[in-house]
Structure formats: structure tokens, C-alpha cells
Amino acid sequence: MMSLLVLFLLVLLFLAFLSIYAKTPPFLSLLAGAIIFGMGAGMDFGTVLGAVIAGLGRVFALFAIIIFSGAVIALTLREQGHLERMVADLRTGFPGSWSLAAIAGYVFSLLTTCCITAFVILAPVIGRTGSDRHQKNMLLFLTAAGSVVSYTLVFPTPVIIPLLLGFGSGLSPLLYDIVAIPLSLALLAGLVLLFRKISGGKGGIAASSPAAGGSDVLSSLRAWAPFIAIVVSIPLCLFVFSLSHESMIQAIMLAGLATALILAPAEARSTGLKKGTTHAGLIMFDICGAGALGNVILESGFAGAVFPAVSGTLPAVLIPFAFTAIIQAALGSRVATAVIASQVMAGTALASVLAPLPLILSVAAGVCIVSWLTDPFFWLLHRTTDATIREISLAYTLPLAACGAGVLFLALVLHSMPFPG
């Protein structure tokens, strides 16, 4: 049944062509890929459509509240000028321009549940801290890289949620983050050192105007209030309401959304809801398209036919990495890649051969390793910085590839240990 593997690779090449050359919206290309793969695998059209609908619905149910809440919170805060206040607060703890750019991308990616949203919000603020065009661009590249690091490693981002649900049986999100957060921060520190060295150590904070809303404690509390509500609601969801981890994620994001909307003036609330709904809708369509393709691949019997055949050619811990890296290279979307990887591999022997932690880290490494022409973030940087493809490849693609290699190395180390990862 290796023909399924050939079909899979051909469909990925087709999706890459639609993305790069035909400029087809990801939802349409993923939907087309799902139908082509299903029909090519011998499924009848009705079965393919049923698998597409089931995949769409499953992913929408998992991510709709999370993505919508994160987008509306971020854009409601931006309408009030609170995001600059938050960056100013981060500046007090990270006064250097390089560390500020990295930690701002890292933190805002978690807060908004989207690395691209975080970058779009931060770019005007971080760009002002550069003393010249080169330094401004390097700071923006570092912000982007920092946002991707947390987005691909730390729970509860949309990349890690499906991986924990698919592979994390017996692994609590807290235990996972005890490993993932120090790992991601170590990678972030490495990126800061790398960018400082590339730029010759130059880079002080340029003078900037005070954040909107003043500099008092009250304005900071209002800016951070939605995220304080999210953190405070976690123990309530776990110990008072005894929610499952999947339900808890939805509940805490709703708590943050409610706080942001209640505290916002009417005009900011209305604009934040309108723009946030539009932004969330675009993201959700892409992710749901990935869910459709992933479910069709799963229903075709791909996992049972292909993974046993390739298990003898690679060490077990490298198979999830290689499989995910191929999908990421073709699709570009990190969440779409994670959704497809979790759906396809969850039912394979890999889930029983590998401990949950090294398995999740192996997939996360694959999500991070290829950030090139199919990556929408790559072209966003191209538009924002006006840098060449070569410059973006050197300052964004290669640093993230190095981070992916570091994550894979830890996965290999944990897999070699005699105790469960």
C-alpha cells in the first residue's frame, strides 16, 4: 500500500503549488486536497464528503472559542491603546531592544493564541525601537521568531492543543509545560544572543512616547486584566468545577473575553468584535480545512498502511518529525500541520511505542523546522520589512530551523531515557 504514500506526497506538492503559484486560499486548497486524496485512495465521493464534514466539525468545535476569544481580546485591547502599555510594562523587565523584541513576540503569541496576530500587533511598536532600517528589520525578525517559538511549544496554543489531545494520554498539560516552557525560553535566549552577535551587539532602546493611558498601575491592570482573568480562572475550572483540560481551555478563554469586553468602552468593544470576528474567521477556515484533509487521510487507512512500512527505515522518534516536516513544508500553516499530524498518527503504533513527551516534541520540532516559501509568516515579513527572500531566509527561516533541531535533540534524549518521557 505504498501507493498511498505516493498519493500523499503528490497531494502535498499540489497544495504547495496552489499556495505559492496559484495564490489559492488555504481553505479551498485543503478542501480540494482532501477530495483528491480521498478519491485517489479509492473512497467513494459520499464517504469522502462525510469525512470532510466530520473533520471540519471536529476542528471547529475544538478551536472556535479559543481562536475567536484570542482575536477579539487582542483587537479590543489594540483599539484602546493597551497593547503599547503592555509592551512598556515588558520593557521595564527587559530593557534591551533585543530581549524586548524576543519576549514581546513570545508573550503576545501566547496571549493572542496566534503568532501572526501577535506580530501584526507588535510590529508598529517594536519597529520604533530600531535605530536604522537594518536594526529595525532584525528586531522584527526576532519578534517573529520569538512568537513562533512559544506558539509551537507551549500549551495551550492551537499547535500544542491537538498534539496533547492526540498523543498526551497520561501526560498532564502542567507536566508538559514544566518541560516546554524552560526549553522554549532557552531557545529564546539563544535567539537573542544570535541576533545580538549578527548585529554586532548594537541596539539600545530608542526613545518612544509613553504608552496610551498613562503610566500608572491602574492603566497596566486594565491592559493585562483579560489575561489575569484567564490565569485566575484556571484553578477555578480545575478544582471547583472539575472541568476536563479540553473544557478548561474553552472556559478560561471565555473568561478573558468577557473581561476584555466588559472593561472596554462601547466603541472599542464594537470595533474589536467586528475586526476580531473577521480575523478569527479567516484563521478558522484554514484550520478547519486542515481538519477535513486530516480526517480524509485518516479514514483512507493511510496510517495503518504507510507507517508500518517506513518504521524500519527510521528510528521511531524521527518518524513523527519527518512526517510533520513534510506536511509543514507543503502547507506552511503550523496549526494545520499539527492538526493533520495529530489526526493521522494518533491511531498508529507510534503512540504506543513512544512516550507522550518525546512524541509531542518530535512533532513540534517538525512544525518548526521548515518556515519558508509556503509559510504565510514568511511573506508577511517580506511585506513588513521589504527584505529580500535571502535576508528573510537567513534571519527567520534558519534560526527557526535551528530551534526545531534543538527541540528534536531533546526529544531524542528523552526517548533514550529508561523512564517514561
Q: What is the pLDDT of residues 20-70, one digit of tens each?
A: 788 888 899 999 999 999 999 999 999 999 999 999 999 899 899 999 999
Question: How confident is residue 334, by pLDDT bands cut at 50, 70 and 90?
Answer: very high
Residue 332 has pLDDT above 60, yes or no: yes
- Taking the CA atoms of residue 256, residue 261, residue 262 and residue 268 in that order, the dihedral angle to the nearest 10 degrees is 140
At residue 251, the pLDDT reads 95
Query: Structural domain tally of the chain?
Result: 1
Q: Is 42 left (phi over 0), alpha (psi -120 to 50) or beta?
A: left
Is residue 136 in a domain?
A: yes
User: What is the rounded distance in angstroms from the CA atom of residue 389 to the CA atom of residue 11?
Assistant: 26
Its sign, for the CA torsion 374, 9, 163, 255, is positive
Question: How confident is residue 421, by pLDDT bands cut at 50, 70 and 90?
Answer: very low
Lowest-confidence pick of 104-113, 196-205, 225-234:
196-205
User: What is the rounded distance in angstroms from the CA atom of residue 295 to the CA atom of residue 186?
Assistant: 35
User: What is the rounded distance in angstroms from the CA atom of residue 122 to the CA atom of residue 149?
Assistant: 16
Is residue 207 in a domain?
A: no
| Residue 242: count of CB within 10 angstroms of its CB | 9
At residue 201, the pLDDT reads 60
Rg (CA), the chain: 21
Residue 175 has pLDDT above 70, yes or no: yes
Question: How confident is residue 139, by pLDDT bands cut at 50, 70 and 90?
Answer: very high
At residue 1, the pLDDT reads 44
What is the residue type of 164?
L
Residue 179 has pLDDT above 50, yes or no: yes
At residue 205, the pLDDT reads 47
Q: What is the mean pLDDT of residues 130-158?
A: 91
Its sign, for the CA torsion 154, 60, 24, 321, is positive
Mean pLDDT for the chain?
A: 88
User: What is the rounded distance in angstroms from the CA atom of residue 355 to the CA atom of residue 375?
Assistant: 30
Residue 4 has pLDDT above 80, yes or no: yes
Say if residue 156 is preceded by a cis peptide, omega within 30 of 0: yes
At residue 202, the pLDDT reads 57
Among 136-150, 202-216, 316-330, 371-385, the range with the most confident prediction by mean pLDDT is: 136-150
Question: In this predicted model, which residue has the larger pLDDT, 198 or 235?
Answer: 235
Is residue 208 in a domain?
A: no
At residue 244, the pLDDT reads 85
| Residue 381: count of CB within 10 angstroms of its CB | 26
pLDDT in tens, 273-321: 999 999 899 889 988 998 999 899 989 988 877 787 777 778 888 999 9
By the 8 A CB rule, do 80 and 213 touch? yes
Q: What is the mean pLDDT of residues 366-388?
A: 89
Is residue 345 in a domain?
A: yes
HEC letters along the chain:
CHHHHHHHHHHHHHHHHHHHCCCCCHHHHHHHHHHHHHHHCCCCHHHHHHHHHHHHHHHHHHHHHHHHHHHHHHHHHHHCCHHHHHHHHHHHHCCCHHHHHHHHHHHHHHHHCCHHHHHHHHHHHHHCCCCCHHHHHHHHHHHHHHHHHHHHHCCCCCCHHHHHHHHCCCCCHHHHHHHHHHHHHHHHHHHHHHHHHHCCCCCCCCCCCCCCCCCCHHHHHHHHHHHHHHHHHHHHHHHHCCCCHHHHHHHHHHHHHHHHHHHCCHHHHHHHHHHHHHHHHHHHHHHHHHHHHHHHHHHCCHHHHHHHHHCCCCCCCHHHHHHHHHHHHHHCCHHHHHHHHHHHHCCCCHHHHCCHHHHHHHHHHHHHHCCCCCCHHHHHHHHHHCCCHHHHHHHHHHHHHHHHHHHHHHHHHHHHCCCCC
Residue 401 has pLDDT above 50, yes or no: yes
pLDDT in tens, 237-267: 988 999 988 898 899 999 999 999 999 999 9
Q: What is the mean pLDDT of residues 182-196?
A: 95
Is residue 421 in a domain?
A: no
Packing angle of the helix pair 318-331, 398-416 (nearest 10 deg):
160
Residue 419 has pLDDT above 60, yes or no: no
Question: Which structural domain range is residue 100 located in?
Answer: 2-200+213-416
Residue 366 has pLDDT above 90, yes or no: yes
Is residue 205 in a domain?
A: no
Question: How confident is residue 217, by pLDDT bands cut at 50, 70 and 90?
Answer: confident
Q: What is the pTM of this model?
A: 0.85
Nearest Cα neighbor of 354 from 378, 386, 319, 330 is 319
Could you give the percent of the chain with pLDDT greater than 70?
94
